[in-house]
Amino acid sequence: MTGEEARQYARVVTWQSPGFEIVGGQTVTSATTLTSDSGRLIQLDASGAPFTLTFPPLPYVGMTFILSEIAGSVNLVTVDGNGKSINGGPSLLMNGAYRQRWVRYNGSQWIVVGGLL
């Protein structure tokens, strides 16, 4: 087990499967920059106003976040790659009620691997 794997197992694990992880969770209601210690389930509540969610500056290969808009709001949440591309672009726009995206870092960019439109 690598040091990174040991650190991941030290957190409360709610679900884990080869290739994907969901560890902890948090609700975000305003501009936030995630870290490697952030929960993996990110519940987005943009009912108050649009905001930007920024991914960690130093992601590791396989780092996965589940982004879920939970308030039924159509306010825009901009997901910033923090210098890394997201599906080839600098950001991902989530501007629909109850949208979800699973986003995984592949070593060079963030890739959307699933979700609900």
CB 111 within 8 A of CB 104: yes
Under a CB-based contact definition with an 8 Å cutoff, are residues 61 and 105 in contact?
Answer: yes
* Fold of the domain spanning 3-116: Jelly Rolls (2.60.120)
Report CA-CA distances (Å) from 3 to 18, 89, 93, 98: 17, 31, 34, 36
Rounded to whole angstroms, the Cα distance separating 55 from 72 reads 23
Q: In this structure, are residues 108 and 87 in contact, taking their beta carbons and an 8 Å threshold?
A: no
CB atoms within 10 A of CB 78: 17
Per-residue pLDDT of 2-16, as tens digits, reads: 445 444 443 434 444
Predicted TM-score (pTM) of the model is 0.79
Residues of the chain falling short of pLDDT 70: 1-23, 117
